[in-house]
Structure 1
Amino acid sequence: MNAIRLACLSLCVLAAPATAQDTAQARPAWALAIHGGAGVIERQDLSPEQDAAYRASLQRALDAGAAVLEAGGSALDAVEAAVRLMEDDPLFNAGRGAVFTAAGRNELDAAVMDGRTRNAGAVAGLTRTRHPIAAARAVMEQSPHVMLIGEGAETFAAARGLEQVDPAFFFTESRWRALERTLRDRSEPLPERPAGVPAPGAMAALHQAPLDERKFGTVGAVALDRSGRLAAGTSTGGMTAKRWGRVGDVPVIGAGTYASNADGCAVSATGSGEYFIRATVARDICHRTGGGASVQAAADSEIADVGSIGGDGGVIVMGTDGTFAFAMNTPGMYRGAVSSARPAAVAIYADEDLRP
């Protein structure tokens, strides 16, 4: 790993009981951790208003998932609730606010996994389904398949009654400007502005992401419910100006998303997708915890490994005891955590500590 990645590596242990008795007393009935993407996110890049907006959005997602878990709902329901809110938030590169392909389209990917059964569902290349995370769950629960892509995935989602929207719903001005800059830098032609979108400058300035955040945009959640079930879910708009139907790690089970009660682990990743696929990041973390590593040690080791082959990004990890961990080799990752044993806390920059 190069010096920059070593300097940026952030490992946050969120539960450190001193004794076995303390462990039993502190073990939460439920727990939830979320992320909104990792990358070059530094204090000087965000205005105070933007910083506050991101924190408020993370808090809303935590509140949504926590309400499900506190009421006795499943880990899958909590993960979906948290991710759906972030998919609707233009601050994040998922759902509304997704980045554009080189052709000027928003193409959306998502995945979910049930840790107890190891059932999984994934979708890629959606353009009209409002909540890709719901489509991924429908694939898992209402089809014999694990992954559906493109037009077929869209047809399936519509047939299952999932909300469909005009593609203009996903448009944000900041993502369009990012596409224009990227294509100009490549000396590639600019696509026409999509039909039915707001006029330039019409969208609220507060909802414009940093112009050069170089963020690996993804949102995700991992949860433990009162019945001891783990679940993971991840959703993304992919990579700015991607071509040729590129798909990253998010919908690849074992790369960007994985959950296994047997291994004591649920993972949602965000980063340079090609590297996370090559390193099978999410599955490897669970393999490490299954072998006895703590969730933090497993996350630490895996991010070091993916960094050694050139990958950047981060992970959130949940254990069957409600211990959760964050690891990254970037200057920041939008993230938060809450459990029945501790209040919600959110963070953006790598040097922020989420321990209570």
Structure 2
Amino acid sequence: MTIALLCHGGAGEISADRHPPCRQGVRDAGLAGYALLQQGTSALDTVEHVVRLLEDNPQYNAGLGSALNADGQVVTDASIMSGHDRRAGAVGAVSGIANPVSLARAVMDDGRHVLLVGQGAEAFARERGFAFCDPASLIVAHERERWEERHGTVGCVALDTRGHLAAATSTGGVVGKRAGRLGDTPLIGAGNWADEQVAVSCTGQGEAMIRTALAHYTACRHDDFDRLEDLARAAIQHMADHTQGQGGLIAVDHDGQIGFSQNTRQMPVYGIGVNGEIDAL
């Protein structure tokens, strides 16, 4: 059976000294995820695992290394979606959770709700036995020192041996964001989407993705394009035309094609599909 996977480390501008570790981190996570798919692991478990690896890498704005908000605090968002049955889970504005993608997965598996935020999400995490950490432990030195815009969200999309698609996305949000702000990442259809045809993970200026429902828009246009890279390019152009926003997206479809596009200077991506290997920054 065809398998495919693509992951990203966020769209934005990355300083030259950070190009190698940012690119290598995405490559390592992508190869680990592809190996899981080869072993028969589900797309859902695979995207969660890959995003956890990226959350644990301080090079990215998710989990460890998350951006600081206007109050100098770390609050994170994440979502995950299973394509064949449309199950989804998401969390927003959570503090003290090192791997918010797994908390989003727990919300999905619980089945009662799709999105939990703030203290409600944290209470759910305690009920489910999640370990809490000191939020300050998620702040890395260069983020504290710079406190400026960095590349953002991490994500992964995958197709497994059963023909099932899944997508997962996680972020520390925009540097200096107002307390209470949610971007596109925890909003199903804006920053993350999976159905029977395609899985999509978005990154960049979240408000632009929300205003264009970018992930779902991309899925709805799938049948209009023969090549997934052309679909991704058209979706990013649609976002830019309507919002003047900047960002990127990755996608994988039921045929095992992978594709991505961005209108930012960099977006580290790695993946393997029927149309070859993607290893780019």
TM-score normalised by L of structure 1: 0.75
1:237 counterpart residue number: 172
Secondary structure in 1 aligned to 2:221? helix
User: Equivalent residue for 1:271?
Assistant: 204
- 2:232 counterpart of 1:259: no
Show the counterpart of 1:120.
88
- Identify the residue that residue 337 of structure 1 maps to in structure 2: 271
Q: What SS is found at the alignment partner of 1:32? A: strand
State the partner residue of 1:316.
250
Q: Give 1:70 shift.
A: 0.9
What is the 5 A alignment of 1:169-208?
169-179=137-147
SS in 2 for 1:124: strand
For 1:86, what is the secondary structure of its paired residue? helix
Instruction: Give 1:46's match in structure 2, choosing from 16, 26, 29.
Output: 16
Give unmatched runs, 5+ long, in structure 2.
none
Residue 158 of structure 1 and its aligned partner are, at CA, apart by: 2.4
Structure 1 position 216, deviation (Å): 4.0
Shift of 1:271: 1.0
Who is 2:182 aligned against? Answer: 247
1:150-176 residue CA offsets vs partner (Å, 9 max, x unmatched): 111011122212332121220111111
Overall identity of the aligned pairs, in %: 41
Q: 2:270 is matched by which residue type in structure 1?
A: G
1:338 shift after superposition: 2.1
* Structure 1 residue 39: Cα displacement: 1.2
Given that 2:9 and 2:152 are in contact with CA atoms closer than 8 Å, whether structure 1 keeps it comes out as: yes
Contact 1:121 1:136 in 2 (8 A): yes
* Of 6, 28, 33, the match for 2:6: 33
1:221 aligned residue (138, 156, 170):
156
RMSD: 1.7
The residue identity in structure 2 corresponding to 1:160 is: R
What amino acid maps onto 2:88 in structure 1?
A
Note if contact 1:289-1:298 (Cα within 8 Å) is conserved in structure 2.
Answer: yes
CA contact (8 A) 1:125 1:149 kept: yes
CA contact (8 A) 2:256 2:274 kept: no
Answer yes or no: is the 8 Å Cα contact 2:257–2:275 preserved in 1.
no
Alignment partner of 1:92: what SS? coil
TM superposition shift of 1:54: 1.9
2:213 aligns to what? 280
Q: Read off the aligned partner of 1:29 and give its amino acid letter.
A: T
Equivalent position of 2:236 in the other structure: 303
Secondary structure at 1:282 match in 2:
helix
Deviation at 1:331, TM superposition (A): 1.4
CA contact (8 A) 2:258 2:275 kept: no
Deviations 1:308-339 (A, max 9, x none): 12110100011101001011111110111024
Asked if the contact 2:27/2:269 (under 8 Å) is kept, the reply is no
Question: SS of 2:5's equivalent?
Answer: strand
Q: Considering only CA atoms, is the larger Rg found in Structure 1 or Structure 2?
A: 1
CA distance in 2, matches of 1:128, 1:334: 27
Confirm or deny that 1:75 pairs with 2:43: yes
Q: Give the conservation status (yes or no) of the 8 Å contact 1:265–1:289.
A: yes
- In structure 2, C-alpha distance between the alignment counterparts of 1:242 and 1:84, rounded to whole Å: 23
Letter of the 1:330 counterpart: T
1:283 deviates by 0.2
1:12 maps to none
Deviation at 1:53, TM superposition (A): 1.7
The reply on whether 1:146 has 2:114 as its aligned counterpart is yes
CA deviation profile, 1:89-134 (whole Å, cap 9, x unmatched): 1000000000001111100000001000111110001111121000
* Equivalent residue, structure 2, for 1:93: 61
Aligned length: 280
Cα distance between partner residues in 2 of 1:235 and 1:141: 17
Matched residue SS, 1:37:
coil
Give 1:301 deviation, angstroms. Answer: 1.4
Aligned partner of 2:10: which letter? G
2:267 is paired with a residue whose SS is: strand
- Helix, strand or coil at the partner of 1:62: helix
Structure 1: how far apart are the matches of 2:248 and 2:234?
12
Distance 1:160 1:292 in 2: 42
Structure 1 segments unaligned to the other structure (5+ residues): 1-27, 183-213, 349-356
